[in-house]
Copies of this chain bind each other. A is one copy, B any other.
Amino acid sequence: MPSDIEIARAATLKPIAQVAERVGIPDEALHNYGKYIAKIDHGFIQSLESRPDGKLILVTAISPTPAGEGKTTTTVGLGDALNRIGKKAVIALREPSLGPCFGMKGGAAGGGRSQVVPMEQINLHFTGDFHAITSAHSLAAALIDNHVYWANELNIDVRRIHWRRVVDMNDRALRAINQSLGGVANGFPREDGFDITVASEVMAVFCLARDLADLEERLGKIVIAETRDRKLVTLKDVKATGAMTVLLKDALQPNLVQTLEGNPALIHGGPFANIAHGCNSVIATRSALKLGEYTVTEAGFGADLGAEKFLDIKCRQAGLKPSAVVIVATVRALKMHGGVDKKSLGSENVEALEKGFANLERHVTNVRNFGLPVVVGVNHFYADTDAEHAKLKELCQSRLGVEAITCKHWAEGGAGAEGLAQAVVKLAEGEQKPLVHAYETEAKLSDKIRAIATKLYGAGDVQIESKAAGKLATFEKDGYGSLPICMAKTQYSFSTDPSLMGAPTGHVIAVRDVRLSAGAGFVVAICGEIMTMPGLPKVPAADTIRLDANGQIDGLF
């Protein structure tokens, strides 16, 4: 099998207008970025409003392991397969972040024969959306310090400016800085630091906004500092929102690309999946629903984090409901959840698979508790044995009464996921129950955290540290009590201990800190150390990335 990049380069791409035409997007609604990428005009997006929605399919996964699951690959493969079986399907995915490309080798546009293309552009600057978000965030930062510099009429307490700065690069040296040094002309010295752009609240707002007006309103609600008398200061107070919206205007138009099989994919937005909700933009998802009979989308991390946030934050805010959920699992990963180490994954081990099945089982149960129909997509790897696949199917059927479908889209493209597509259509066109959220918005903030931890994570208890508890009380007093919760914890375990695989029970979820994301519209509960600025490894991918003699990019994938 050739490499991802070889497959992507060998593909014959359709002109993007032809991809657009298939889902009824006229030429004049496209803003081209080269021949194979286009943004879809705001005006056309608005004109879709009155159309009925197609069916929404969420692709989520078991708790990730180093063995790999293939959530994006399954999303692409399923989209292609739905098109193959005669359904007009559109894929909606997150945009990859630029910075991490230069750390560990690898892109984020699917793999094998289930990719979105052109993968090099998608993985690098793409249409500049993240650059626009970086600019808007940076402008806000400059305006805040500029306000303090000149007269500080808002009486901002420079010790309590919560708005950090961002750059789309893995740069640990900027995590903690002292700024405004060097004398009077440079402002009032204070502590600050940089996050990577995907961790910006502007990114979360961008991905939850319904349109430009909603974007501007949400930006205005972002709390960026406190005054000396502890009043909250917003981006609206520092008059940043108009100019930020101007900077984000073009970026907010969703990006249309294609799969290797020429089917439409909207790739738009990409918030962190820990301190934010980790899904592509609401605008892209809603547009896809208007354009296709089926929309296939994914949520970050495992279903405990990704699907929960997708359902309790994104669906709630945007009025969406999936018609079916695919939980991606692999034999390899379940064996790791069953205690096998990475080196031994090549050998058949039905017993470990059965032990690790507990992880899948809990994710399936959790998603069903939302009232949603579930199918398990088993992403096939070469070393898997028939006995293992048979066992997994049998366990799914006997213990959960769900179908598990082996998928070979990585090797075969959409043809390898037709079985999954058939199963998805059966569920989506079958009986639908109402969406049952993990908690009601009227509950106390701490009770919402407790609900997620006990119902979804299997936790025995939640311990909210006193500082965090105090902040929750303040949020409620300040009128933010009805916001949903965004859990920031390790994706590797249902617990807060990344080494606790499988399906632990009775553990304690310790909430170390909480943060208000008033523009995005959620309260972040931080459990454990959350890294918002990655570093580069000792031998970064950047060392060997270069243009080869033919002007092709070498070393990036």
Contact = CB atoms under 8 A, between A and B. Distances in A.
Contact of A167 (B138, B171, B556): B138
Contact of A173 (B174, B180, B544): B180
A528 interface: no
Interface string A115-144: 000000100110010011011001101110
B243 A542 contact: yes
A476 B76 CA distance: 58
A444 interface: no
A473 interface: no
Contacts of A536: 142-143, 146
A546 B242 contact: yes
Interface string A529-557: 00000011010111111110001011110
A216 B178 CA distance: 34
Contacts of A180: 172-173, 176
Interface stretch (A29-37, A390-398, A408-416): A29-37
Contacts of A35: 31-32
A543 B142 CA distance: 12
B170 A142 contact: yes
- Secondary structure of the A contact surface, majority rule: mixed
A169 B143 CA distance: 10
A185 B191 CA distance: 17
B547 A216 contact: yes
B216 A542 contact: no
A179 B186 contact: no
Contacts of A165: 174
Contacts of A239: 542-544
A42 B173 contact: no
A250 B125 contact: yes
A243 B545 contact: yes
Nearest to A215: B547
Contact of A32 (B32, B124, B128, B541): B32
B143 A246 contact: no
A305 interface: no
Nearest to A249: B547
A181 interface: yes
Given A139-B169, A212-B547, 4 more contacts: A32-B32, A145-B172, A176-B182, A245-B546
Interface of A: 31-35, 42, 98, 102, 121, 124-125, 128, 131-132, 134-135, 138-139, 141-143, 145-146, 149-151, 165, 167-182, 185-187, 191-193, 212, 216, 239-243, 245-247, 249-250, 535-536, 538, 540-547, 551, 553-556
Q: Closest 8 A-B residue pairs measured CB to CB?
A: A242-B546, A176-B182, A131-B131, A243-B542, A145-B173, A142-B171, A243-B545, A176-B181
